[in-house]
């Protein structure tokens, strides 16, 4: 299949391109230099020229804290970008997959969020990503929406890289212990995305690596697997204030993946181990 990948220079986009090539698909990457997804005419022209079978929409305004200061840009990219791509997909008769986020929920749950649970974003990033979801569902009869969380990969900045850098600079770090979720390795997420796009099993999915941890527990496991001696101190969210509110509970139920007979993502500890092997090269 001929597949357009937006956000092709990003952390997830680069692994998606590699996975498509591994599966003998024709991958066309679109990054910010190639395509401004907030420009409706540019999106129409690009998709018309390429005429893809599938659009995997990984591009996003992901700086959660900066989004609080610049809602306009976040909305143009996350909301309108998804709208314009959905319109172009409809015209081209292409399948579309939109990558969304745990931030569409408010994090007050005590059990994993199902795909049908009511959304209630806490801040700008979640609101603008949810706007993108709504546009995709309004414009397309058949679509894939994949919500994910706590993403880490070899190509971008992420929590794992930050911890390893801090661990080299100091022998102790403080990490929030009262925010819980599931880390997601971009390689595993990319495999799931490509498997899903090859099907007609449309709808909303939650895709993260299996298992649950706090950021504190994640940090402890990173240092353990990286064989670094670093003391990790648990902090509360209040002790580590940020401009944007974070959901306290970000665990997404992967029940839909099993129900549809798709391949579940491995547990997060194994994913971290695979990532660290790749990271060390």
Selection from 29, 43, 48 nearest residue 77 by Cα: 43
pLDDT at residue number 180: 98
* Sequence-distant (≥ 6) Cβ neighbours of residue 50 within 8 angstroms: 2, 4, 28
Task: Enumerate the active-site residues.
Answer: 125
What are the counts of helices (DSSP H) followed by strands (DSSP E) for the chain?
A: 11, 12
Residue 223: inside a domain, yes or no?
A: no
pLDDT at residue number 240: 86
Residue 196: inside a domain, yes or no?
A: yes
pLDDT at residue number 280: 81
Residue 260: inside a domain, yes or no?
A: yes
- Counting the structural domains of the chain, the total is 1
Residue 37: inside a domain, yes or no?
A: yes
Residue 25: inside a domain, yes or no?
A: yes
Residue 205: inside a domain, yes or no?
A: yes
Question: Is the overall model pTM greater than 0.95, yes or no?
Answer: yes
> How do strand 95-101 and strand 54-57 relate by DSSP bridges?
parallel
Residue range of the domain that includes 82: 2-158+184-210+251-265
Q: Which residues of the chain are modeled with pLDDT < 50?
A: none
Q: How far apart are CA 113 and CA 8, in angstroms?
A: 29
Residue 177: inside a domain, yes or no?
A: no
Q: CATH number, domain at 141?
A: 3.40.50.720
Is the distance from CB of 110 to CB of 248 less than 8 angstroms?
no
Residue 194: inside a domain, yes or no?
A: yes
pLDDT at residue number 281: 61
Q: How far apart are CA 45 and CA 276, in angstroms?
A: 40
């Amino acid at each position: 299949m001929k597949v357009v990948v937006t956000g092709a220079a990003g952390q997830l986009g680069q692994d998606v391109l590699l996975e498509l090539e591994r599966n003998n698909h024709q991958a066309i990457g679109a990054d910010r230099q190639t395509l401004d997804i907030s420009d409706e005419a540019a999106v129409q022209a690009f998709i018309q020229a390429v005429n893809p079978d599938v659009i995997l929409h990984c591009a996003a305004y992901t700086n959660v804290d900066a989004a609080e200061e610049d809602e306009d840009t976040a909305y143009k990219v996350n909301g309108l970008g998804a709208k314009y791509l959905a319109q172009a997909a409809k015209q081209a008769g292409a399948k579309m997959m939109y990558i969304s986020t745990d931030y569409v929920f408010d994090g007050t749950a005590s059990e994993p969020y199902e795909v049908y649970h009511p959304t209630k974003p806490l801040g700008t990033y979640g609101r603008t990503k949810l706007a993108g979801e709504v546009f995709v569902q309004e414009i397309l009869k058949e679509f894939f929406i994949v919500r994910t969380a706590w993403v880490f990969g070899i190509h971008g900045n992420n929590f794992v890289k930050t911890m390893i850098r801090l661990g080299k600079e100091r022998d102790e770090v403080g990490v929030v212990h009262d925010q819980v979720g599931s880390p997601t390795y971009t390689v595993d997420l990319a495999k799931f995305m490509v498997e899903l796009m090859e099907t007609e099993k449309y709808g909303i999915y939650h895709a993260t690596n299996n298992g649950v941890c706090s950021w504190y527990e994640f940090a402890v496991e990173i240092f353990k697997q990286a064989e670094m001696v670093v003391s990790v101190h648990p902090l509360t969210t209040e002790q580590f204030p940020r401009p944007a509110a974070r959901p306290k509970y970000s665990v997404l139920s992967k029940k839909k993946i099993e129900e549809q007979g798709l391949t579940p993502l491995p547990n997060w500890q194994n994913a971290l181990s695979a990532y660290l092997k790749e990271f060390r090269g």
